[in-house]
């Protein structure tokens, strides 16, 4: 009995470490494994960073690609390699900014001074006006030369949001310093802003307009260096990535458990059920964030009594990933609200997706009540209106025009945001739905 307890304790400790390592890998883009299909881009990036860190050359660069294409992972790999060179970890400074957090130049400048540990240099002055912040920061960055100053690497995530800020003062000054021969800095922008220029079955051409957002004075100081990431790997590479992302590193403390875990990951990559799940996932969305979400959901099912991931775990994870959010909302609606959605479905069929108003929906509901409903209570009109407004609050329907004070709510045009497939799938899973309501939903014509 004691042996079983000690074995369970060992398993629990190993699984705790597995959960920590893999969750950190899936959620924080930790540079732990090989990069796939971006070797050329990686070489370009690491060479640019080395020129700044080792030779004191200032530069600027944009990493462009859709969400989940590996921009942050690519950068983290390059920074990790850079910090492992000599005493770079002590001599190179990093400043990480995000356009979603630093929503204006003043907040960004305060964050820069905080990350560079400059707040205590002049006491409270650094938290004065925007002009004081800016002048102090520029003086701190420009005080020195290539040989005596620590290189600073600025990482601007959501770069396009910085370009939307007033006057683009932060970008202008960072790019201006990068052109000077004083403090060596590298400005690395990451953006997912893409425009589809042309799309056909055989050809997809993408064009990014991020540079068009920059003012002339800012654009003239930017080096115009760009790295593009487009998720160009095929399914065999995707399968290889799956196996590697799930594998434990060689330095895992319990070598025997790590060997069993990695062997299980290899078996999963050859399992026909898992291959089918991954193929479906790849066909829908082949970015690595989506794969990480799938693996995270499967990892959550691993316990002491169920220590290794199985094909059933991945199938359940795939099911959760593919859940329709709007259809899930329908599962929690009242019977009256379901009836109103079915009435809207029939109006869509009759009027070919044209907008409708509450009065039309109410009339359709009344026809159903009068002809077929034996299990649905005939609610008063104000109650039906309340249910209709609740559907609008849930964003299952949306108004086609701005609501005015004088307009009557019954006659405001709205549009249903659910298609017929979503409605029918939701009804199949809706418990205790009256038979009359189900039959009304499946009928091809409105009740006349």
Query: pLDDT at residue 297 above 80?
Result: yes
Q: Which residues contact residue 298 at a Cβ distance below 8 angstroms, ignoring those fewer than 6 apart?
A: 309, 313, 314, 316, 317
Q: What is the Cα–Cα distance from 359 to 280, expressed in whole angstroms? A: 43
CB crowding 164-180: b at 16 or more within 10 Å, else e: ebeebbbbbbbbebbee
Length of the chain, please? Answer: 448
- Who wins on pLDDT, 322 or 252? 252
Q: Where are the domains of the chain?
A: 37-228, 235-321, 327-442
Task: Report the Cα–Cα distance between both ends of the chain, in Å, rounded.
Answer: 73
Record the tokens describing residue 178, joined without a space: 């990068």
**pLDDT top residue among 147 and 290:** 290
Stated pTM of the model: 0.66
pLDDT of amino acid 133: 66
Q: How does pLDDT run across 420-433, given as a tens digit for each residue? A: 888 887 787 777 77
Question: In this structure, how many other beta carbons lie within 10 angstroms of the beta carbon of residue 370?
Answer: 10
Mean pLDDT (whole number) for 77-92: 85
Q: What tens digit of pLDDT does each residue of 87-102 get?
A: 777 788 899 999 999 9
Q: Any bridge partners for residue 96, and if so which?
A: 155
Report the C-alpha gap between 241 and 315 in whole angstroms: 18
Q: Helix 311-321 and helix 288-299: axis angle, to 10°? A: 120
268 confidence band (pLDDT: 50, 70, 90):
very high
pLDDT band at 1 (very low <50, low <70, confident <90, very high): very low
- The better pLDDT of the pair 86, 387 is held by 387
Domain 327-442 part of CATH 1.10.10.10:
yes
Contact in structure between 154 and 178 (CB atoms under 8 Å): no
Instruction: Walk across the sheet containing 226-228 and list its strands.
Output: 93-98, 152-157, 185-191, 59-64, 226-228
Segment 153-199, tens digit of pLDDT: 999 999 989 988 888 888 888 888 888 766 788 999 999 887 544 44
- In 54-147, which residue ranges form alpha helices assigned H by DSSP? 71-83, 88-91, 105-115, 130-142
CATH number of 37-228, picked from 3.40.50.280, 3.40.50.970, 3.40.718.10, 3.40.50.300: 3.40.50.300
> Which two three-digit tokens encode residue 23?
């969750």
Statement: residue 342 has pLDDT above 70? yes
At 27 the pLDDT is 82
* % pLDDT > 90, the chain: 17
Mean pLDDT calculated for residue range 60-66? 89
Per residue in 117-135, pLDDT (tens digit) is: 776 555 545 455 565 666 6
């Amino acid at each position: 009995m004691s042996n079983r307890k000690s074995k369970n304790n060992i398993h629990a400790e190993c699984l705790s470490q597995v959960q920590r390592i893999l969750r950190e890998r899936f959620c924080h883009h930790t540079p732990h494994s090989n990069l796939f299909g971006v070797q050329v881009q990686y070489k370009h990036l690491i060479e640019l960073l080395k020129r700044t860190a080792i030779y004191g050359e200032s530069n600027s660069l944009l990493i462009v690609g859709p969400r989940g294409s590996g921009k942050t992972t690519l950068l983290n790999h390059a920074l990790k390699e850079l910090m492992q060179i000599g005493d770079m970890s002590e001599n190179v400074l990093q400043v990480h900014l995000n356009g979603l957090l630093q929503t204006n130049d003043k907040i960004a400048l305060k964050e820069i001074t905080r990350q560079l540990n400059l707040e205590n240099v002049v006491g409270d002055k650094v938290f004065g006006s925007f002009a004081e912040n800016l002048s102090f920061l520029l003086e701190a960055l420009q005080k020195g030369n290539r040989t005596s100053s620590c290189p600073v690497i600025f990482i601007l995530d959501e770069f396009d949001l910085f370009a939307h800020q007033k006057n683009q003062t932060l970008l202008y000054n960072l790019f201006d310093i990068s052109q000077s021969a004083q403090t060596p800095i590298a400005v690395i922008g990451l953006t997912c802003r893409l425009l589809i220029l042309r799309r056909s079955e055989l050809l997809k051409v993408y064009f990014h307009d991020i540079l068009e957002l920059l003012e002339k004075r800012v654009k003239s100081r930017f080096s115009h260096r760009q790295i593009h990431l487009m998720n160009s790997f095929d399914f065999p590479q995707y399968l290889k990535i799956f196996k590697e992302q799930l594998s434990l590193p060689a330095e895992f403390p319990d070598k025997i458990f790590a060997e069993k875990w990695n062997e299980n990951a290899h078996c999963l990559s050859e399992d026909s059920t898992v291959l089918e799940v991954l193929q479906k996932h790849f066909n829908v969305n082949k970015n690595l964030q989506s794969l990480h979400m799938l693996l995270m959901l499967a990892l959550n099912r691993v316990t002491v009594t169920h220590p290794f991931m199985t094909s059933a775990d991945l199938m359940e994870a795939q099911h959760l990933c593919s859940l329709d959010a709007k259809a899930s909302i329908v599962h929690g609606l009242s019977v009256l609200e379901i009836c109103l959605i079915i009435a809207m479905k029939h109006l869509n069929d009759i009027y070919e997706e044209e907008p409708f108003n509450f009065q039309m929906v109410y009339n359709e509901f009344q026809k159903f009540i009068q002809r077929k409903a034996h299990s649905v209570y005939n609610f008063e009109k104000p109650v039906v209106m309340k249910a209709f407004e609740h559907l609008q609050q849930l964003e299952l329907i949306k108004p086609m025009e701005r609501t005015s004070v004088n307009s009557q709510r019954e006659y405001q045009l709205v549009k249903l945001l659910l298609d017929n497939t979503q409605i029918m799938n939701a009804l199949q899973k809706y418990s205790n739905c009256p038979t009359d309501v189900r039959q009304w939903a499946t009928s091809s014509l409105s009740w006349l």
